[in-house]
Chains A and B, each alone.
Chain A
Amino acid sequence: MKETRYIKAINEALHEEMARDETVFIIGEDVGAPGGAFGGTRGLLQAFGERRVRDTPISESAIVGLALGAAMKGLRPVVEIMFADFLPVCMDQIVNQIAKTRFMFGGQFTAPLVIRAPGGAGLNAGPQHSQSLEAWFAHIPGLKVVMPATPADAKGLLKSAIRDDDPVLFLEHKALYATSGAIPEEEYLVPIGKADVRRTGRDVTIVTASRMVYQTLEAAETLAGQGTDAEVIDLRSLTPLDKDAIFKSVEKTSRLVIAHEAVKSFGIGAEIAAMISEEMIDVLDAPIARVGAPFSPVPFSQEGDYLPNASDIVRAVEKVMTY
């Protein structure tokens, strides 16, 4: 194992997959000589040349559409969209085109492409550069949506995404880019659609993803001090969703809290809560609780007040434990 930063893990995955597969190419704004706005594509231009590392005009629809057309012809594009907030700029290409390609053409064409985009707050980037939009995309049949929390998962999941025969939206968290973690020295893949139990526990299940994994683990330590043993599930992929992992855990603990950075309303917490209510309400000992951001755009200057944190999760669990 080696200590590696999250952004470096992503960069390693790109290097390795480009070396492995000639059909992989990189496309996006400032991905060439600048190495990406956050350094994700650093060194790729030098290693693989202009043919495979394409700097583009600021034209998100053209970039993403180009990736689709190339993927339909057998290439494996990896698109970088500089901020997840810019995905709405090319929403038609993602939702109406990419997600529906295999379906709409009866499997005659497929779209093996990856769109990398950093979401999330924490850098005081303001309302248009800080959103967590994953639920929008998880709502669209035909898109795989992945949100790694650790450097190891970022690398392993990105390599899986590039090898996937269907489109994957790879949502990185910009506040995690500088964080470090251990990753294997040897080559490895992390499968899409498999959650990870970050902490085992018997009293309550907390389902989370991306940066909130860390807030949740912090909360779990606090709760442990209070005698509550929380199990923490890191979803890693939203679609396909690892229902088995959630159900298995809730069967054991009979209590469920879902914590995410996105606004609480209409978020993935709502979906998971509904799923459990529909399919296994009998095992629950308490109402399900959700932790998420208030229904507001991300404020520039008051992120600390806005973002859900470990204390919010502790409070939600405490409430659930009163039943």
Chain B
Amino acid sequence: MNKPQKSTPAASSKAAPKPSNTAAAGAIPNDDGFLELHYSMLRVRRVEERLLQVFSEGKIPGFIHVSIGQEAVATGVCSCLTPADTIFTTHRGHGHTLAKGMELKPFMAEIYGRANGACHGNSGSMHVASSEAGVGGANGIVGAGLPISLGSAFASAFKGEDSVTAVFFGDGASNQGTFHESMNLAALWNLPLIFVCENNGWAQFTSQKSYMKIDSIARRAEGYGMPGVTVDGDDVLQVREGMRAAVARARAGNGPTLLECKTYRWFGHYAGDPQKYRPANDLEQTRKVDCIANFEKFLIGSGLADRGQLDAVDAGLRAEIDEAIAHAEAAPAAPRGQFLNDVYA
């Protein structure tokens, strides 16, 4: 797969320093939450790396979908949200969920199917949710979170609150009817909703160019009467900039935005996917773009952090993850028949 073509960056004003090789080597930028962004991205990656490991060891039932390589999207988007804001996510939702602030222990225990998991072990990786952190749930049905997110945004407006909702979905979901219905209704009612299309170029086993005529999903926004913006989803600052503008617009009561973040899927659709459908060299090409490595280069290059500091962050994360894994592994399995406690009819 070729590198997705980049369209105009999100916001034209106040261009943030680029965490890329071309970042201005001159002035040291002010730290605008950069270290938090780094922490959040690295945390998602380390968690998912560990999930892949324990999954391959047979410790997690079912199957998992990781978002490794796409961390800048989760982080950039969620960095603009408060706990009062809500996100809805997808089957590939670990990153979004963690970046939004879900605690690691109930998250991990749920993926392990334990009694003390966030969802009582009823759900696993694909439906992790946290009412506390404003995570209205990952979803196993492609495109199904979109209509639900309308209601969350509607409730904010109905109650006169300035909270906003962000809904993550993939490029594949943009061909579901729910996408089109939801875009239309959100625009029509000026809902405080941000449609975040995490375009990783793959709809499960099928590449974007083989299932849609246009390259940029953001172009579809115009058909519904809302702004559509494409950003480099591997550049956390571009994502954040695009999201900031979208959130400001939504909070001001000016309605929804479609924010398309172009990124790459480093792994298969699911953990263990042999990916025979992927062209030769595609994976290698894909992994040349590493949002975290690029951002670290930027941080070090601009004097905002040194290698030692970043390594210490990494070590801290690994310790936190070890603890969460140990917590999950030590927890009792959901007791026999517990699932019936959550059934009312």
Contacts and interface: CB of A to CB of B under 8 A. Distances in A.
A65 B120 contact: no
B147 A56 contact: no
A97 B148 contact: yes
A70 B155 contact: yes
A322 interface: no
B343 interface: yes
A239 B345 contact: yes
B86 interface: yes
B141 A107 contact: no
Nearest to B160: A51
B151 A66 contact: yes
Contacts of A97: 139, 141, 144, 148
B16 interface: no
Contacts of B158: 25, 51, 70, 75
Interface string B136-169: 1101110010111111111110110000010000
Contacts of A65: 144, 146-148, 150-151, 178, 182
Given A59-B185, A141-B343, A166-B344, A106 B151 contact: no
Contact of B123 (A63, A68, A106, A144): A106
Contacts of A240: 345
B181 A61 contact: yes
B342 A61 contact: no
Given A57-B181, A109-B129, A73 B152 contact: yes
Nearest to A166: B344
B302 to A, nearest CB: 41
A93 B147 contact: yes
A75 B123 CA distance: 24
Contacts of B150: 62, 65-66, 69
Contacts of A75: 151, 154-155, 158
Contacts of A57: 181, 184-185, 188
A275 interface: no
Contacts of B137: 101, 104-105, 109
Interface in A111-167: 141-145, 166
Contacts of A74: 155
A72 B152 contact: yes
A13 interface: no
B339 A69 contact: no
A110 to B, nearest CB: 9
A304 to B, nearest CB: 35
A142 B119 contact: no
Contacts of B118: 105-106, 108
A68 B147 contact: yes
A18 to B, nearest CB: 13
Interface in A263-314: none
B105 to A, nearest CB: 14
A62 B178 CA distance: 7
Contacts of B21: none
A97 B129 CA distance: 13
Q: Which of A72, A106, A166 has the most CB of B within 10 A?
A: A106
Interface string B39-82: 00000000000000000000000000000000000000000000
B149 A69 contact: yes
A230 interface: no
A106 to B, nearest CB: 4
Given A62-B182, A104-B123, A109 B155 contact: no
B152 A69 contact: yes
Contact of B148 (A72, A103, A143): A72
B151 A105 contact: no
B142 to A, nearest CB: 10
A105 B344 contact: no
B216 interface: no
B122 interface: yes
A71 to B, nearest CB: 7
Nearest to A68: B148
B127 interface: yes
A141 B129 CA distance: 20
A7 interface: no
Given A61-B147, A72-B148, A106 B182 contact: no
Contacts of B129: 104-106, 108-109
B275 interface: no
Contact of A72 (B136, B185, B343, B344): B136
Contacts of A109: 129, 131, 136-137
Interface of A: 25, 51, 56-57, 59, 61-75, 77, 92-93, 96-97, 101-109, 141-145, 166, 239-240
Given A65-B178, A72-B148, A109-B129, 12 more contacts: A57-B185, A61-B147, A62-B178, A64-B147, A68-B148, A69-B147, A69-B148, A105-B118, A108-B119, A108-B131, A141-B345, A145-B345
20 contacts: A51-B158, A61-B177, A61-B181, A62-B184, A62-B185, A65-B182, A68-B148, A69-B165, A73-B159, A97-B139, A97-B141, A97-B148, A103-B343, A104-B123, A105-B119, A105-B137, A106-B120, A106-B342, A107-B342, A142-B343
